Each structure stands twice: as structure tokens, then as C-alpha cells.
Amino acid sequence: MPAMSSSTSALHNCLTLIMVVLSWILIHRWSQRNHKGPKTWPIIGAAIEQLRNYDRMHDWLAEYLSVSKTITVSMPFRSFTYIADPANVEHVLKTNFDNYPKGELYRSYMDVLLGDGIFNADGDMWRKQRKTASLEFASKNLRDFSTKVFREYALKLSNILCQLSINNQDMDMQDLFMRMTLDSICKVGFGVEIGTLSPHLPDNSFAQAFDAANIIVTLRFIDPLWRIKRFLRAGSEALLERSIKAVDDFTYDVIRKRKAEIERARASGIREVTVFHFKIKHDILSRFIELGEVPDSSFSDEKSLRDVVLNFVIAGRDTTATTLSWFIYMLMTHPAVADKLYFELKAYEEERAKEEKVKLISYVPNDVKSFSSRVNQFAELLNYDSLGRLVYLHACITETLRLYPAVPQDPKGILEDDVLPDGTQVKAGGMVTYVPYSMGRMEYNWGPDAASFRPERWFKNGMLQSVSPFKFTAFQAGPRICLGKDSAYLQMKMTLAILCRFFTFALVPNHPVKYRMMTILSMAHGLKIHVSRRA
């Protein structure tokens, strides 16, 4: 009898525990009946639904944000508030800017890749880097140098596409754009030539390692076990460690080469450093190296310079290449837009030729020599000022960024409890994320055709119009607004003017086009295209 009594008691206790747990879950679920956003469960929050939708995270968020302009997604130990209302975005990015830094949580995820660079820094470190970078981007000297470099690499890309068309060979356009922008930022920003866009398209271990690291640190945002894996050097964190080593080997080599060039120039008594036959007073890396020589500087060691380099790589390579890739995809899927852009470029070519009093070279696409000569002649008609006339091209780029922003979501930490303009309460220690990908697709922001690719929306009475940066957030807004916006438009216009004037693109049949989850909205499977020359 005592044994049976003990067994009955244990069963009773077990049933009681089950009833308590079920009651707890039911009470929790009942309290969620008016919750805006994905339903949550005790302890794990919305982790299951978020993991299930990880590969389509941006569209998953857009579905919820189309119903409510602000949603809260609970995760183990922390909640994330996502916003798509311009008023809320302005509050976070400008009005109460100091309350929404990158924050320690974000930094803990990204520190291994971005360190104390401008994308990851807060406070004085961020202000010092931004001040230095803003002076460089405002420099006419750097702008003119950038124009020459962007033209040079756009022509290299054009030559590769010409050869692909001759050989009737398909190619991953995103890979080509990534190579072009990596070579460009290394030459403009750091004064080094790395040659990934050479005709034989060499493998580049840095680019592969950088992409792998980017993917893994993004996964950390929803992987509660990443710290354990890092401690054990297992799984994704083991790959991250190897990738960061490859990234660092490349980056420190760039820094040491640049330092050596500067020292040689000083030893020769040269005040202006000549790089690749262009005289420039300072590239961006050289300016930070110079700052590092000032007593008590924040950039006196190679680790701080490494962080500067990698942040400018992600800014100057990934974002531009990604946008160019989505642009070409939009042209392929919207032939009427492609035709309209082509006619703008043809008219521009004829107008500029008259202004410069040059006779356009006669060519046919099948005559490769004359074709290449005409492409080079057209490229020489493109400069910083004249590119501003290509208003439809500008609108097409901007419309691409509206629907496919290079940075699809941008999280901020919360220092103190706050109330957003729409009444949403946010708690210290949590995170607020504005979501450019969702914002560009919201009818309450852009009207009933928000999901449509329509460059004409950027014109009013035939003139280009701008909108609030808190509504069109592709370049962020407020004190952290992107310093490289004009430089990015310059490179994209230079490249696309040449490519869209002389080539047509067709998507390889059955090639899947979808984004992959990383900090930048790159294509998961690249962009496989077939290219043809045009008259």
C-alpha cells in the first residue's frame, strides 16, 4: 500500500505540474490576443516562427508591418521592436538620436567583423571617424579621382561583358559587380590595386571569407547558442574564426603596404603621394594613418586601421554591387523601363558629342574593335557634372533602392525607456529596428502601387523630386546619414550608363533570384545572365 500511495502521489504531482504549465501557456496566449506581430510562447518568444521564416525574414516582417506600422517580436531574453512609420523612424534616427545607439548587443554580434569601425561604433569613436570621412568625401580632389577610377573599372567590366557576348557565355553578374566594386574601393579608399576584375577573373580568398563572415554574424541575431559554439570553436563559429583570419590577413597587408608607400614618399621629399599616375593628397586610409600619428589618437594601432578598412569595404563594395545587381534584374523584368533608359542614354550621347565637338565613331556590334572604341568614346563623355543630366537613370537607381535597399534592416539599441510617436513603449536594453525593405513596400508610405517598380514616381511635373529621408531610408537619415551617398550614385551612374547603353541582359532560364540573409541584401544564388551587344 505505501508503494502504491507513493506512486499515486507522484502521478498526482505530475498531472498538477502539467496543468500548471498548460494554464501558464493558455494565460500567456490569451494575453497575446491583441498583440501586434507574431504570436509568442513563454520563454522562447517568437523564436520558432522566426527560425522557420529565417530565409525570407524581410518578407515575413513586411507581412506583419503591412498590418501594423510597429510590431514587437519577442525572443529569448530580449524583445525587438520593428518600425516602418516615417514618424517613428525620425524619432529614432534624429529626434531622440542619443537614446538609440548601435548598442552593446549589436556590437557583440558584429564586433568580430566590424570592430570599432564607423558602422559599429558609438560616441566619440564614431564622431571622430565620421568627421574624418566627411572631410574626405567632400574633397573635390577625391571626387575627381573617384570619377576616373569608376570609369576605368566600368570599362574593364564592359570589356569582360563584350568577351562573354562573343563567346556566348553566361555569367554571374553579381560576382562581376562585387569584383568591380572591391577593386574600386581598394583603389579609391586605400590606394592599392588588387585585380579581382582582371580578364581571367582570379579567385579572391578575401571576398569569399568576407561574405562567409557576414552571413555568420547575421545569423547570430537569432542563434541563442552562438556564444557556446564560439567557446567550443564549433559549427558556424569555427568557420567564422577561419574566415576572419583570411579577412585580417588581407586587411593588414593592405595597411602595411600603404604605410610603406607613404614612408617611401616622405623619404623622397614628396608631399603629394602619386597612386597609379593620379596625384592625390590623401586617400581615406592615408588620412587615418596620418591621424594615428597624432598623440593620443584613436587610430595609432593597426587594429583600429583594420576596422576602418573593413567598414569602408562593406560600405563601398557590398552595398553598391548589391544595388547594381538588383537594378539589372529590374531592367530584365521591366523591358519598357529598359527601353526608356536606353533612349535617354542615346540622346545624352549625341548631345554630349555635339558639345565636345567630337564625331561619334561608327560601329556595328559584331565589329569588336569598333564597338570597343565607341564604348571608350562614350565613357569619356561621362563626368561628375554631366551624369546629373541622366535623370531617368537616377530615378531607376532610386526606385531600385526603394524596393531593394542595400541595408534591408538596421537595428538600434535602447538606452532608456521611451515612447515612440505612435504610442509604442520601448524598454531599455531592447532593440528598435527600422526596416527599409518593408518601408518601401508599404502602401501607407507609397500608395497602392507601392510594390510596383515604377521610376516615374520620382518625377513631378517632369522634374526629379526628393522625399523625406525618414520615408526613403536606403541611406539612413539623421546624424548617421550615409556619407558615401553621392559617391555611390556616381559609381552606379557611371557603370550603368555604359552597360545599359551598349548591352542587353537576359536572365538564364530557371535561375532562382532571391536574397540571402546577411547585413546586405545580396542575391543568394547570384544573378546568372546572358549578355548581348547592342547598337
- All 3 cell numbers of residue 118? 564607423
- All 3 cell numbers of residue 286? 592615408
Q: State how far the Cα of 342 lies from the Cα of 207, in Å rounded to an integer.
A: 32
Where do we find the cell 498526482?
Answer: 12
10 Å CB burial of residue 271 (0-12, 13-18, 19+) is: exposed
Bin 433: left if φ > 0, else alpha if -120 < ψ < 50, else beta. beta
Q: State how far the Cα of 398 lies from the Cα of 390, in Å rounded to an integer.
A: 13
Closest by alpha carbon to 435, among 410, 401, 456?
A: 410
DSSP string over 342-393: HHHHHHHHHHHHHHHT-PPPP--TT-HHHHHHHHHHHHHT--TTGGGG-HHH
Where do we find the cell 548587443?
Answer: 105
Where do we find the cell 567598414?
Answer: 311
Nearest-5° angle of CA 350, CA 355, CA 358?
70
Q: State how far the Cα of 462 lies from the Cα of 231, in Å rounded to an integer.
A: 59
Contact criterion met (CB below 8 Å) for 81 and 424 = yes
Contact criterion met (CB below 8 Å) for 467 and 476 = no
- What lies within 8 Å, CB to CB, of 464 at 6+ separation is 391, 394, 395, 458
Q: State how far the Cα of 61 lies from the Cα of 441, in Å rounded to an integer.
A: 11
Determine if residue 482 is labeled as part of a ligand binding site: yes
Closest by alpha carbon to 150, among 320, 338, 388, 356?
A: 320
Closest by alpha carbon to 58, among 429, 416, 407, 492?
A: 407
Q: Please give the annotated binding residues for heme, written as ranges.
A: 482
Annotated binding-site ranges: 482
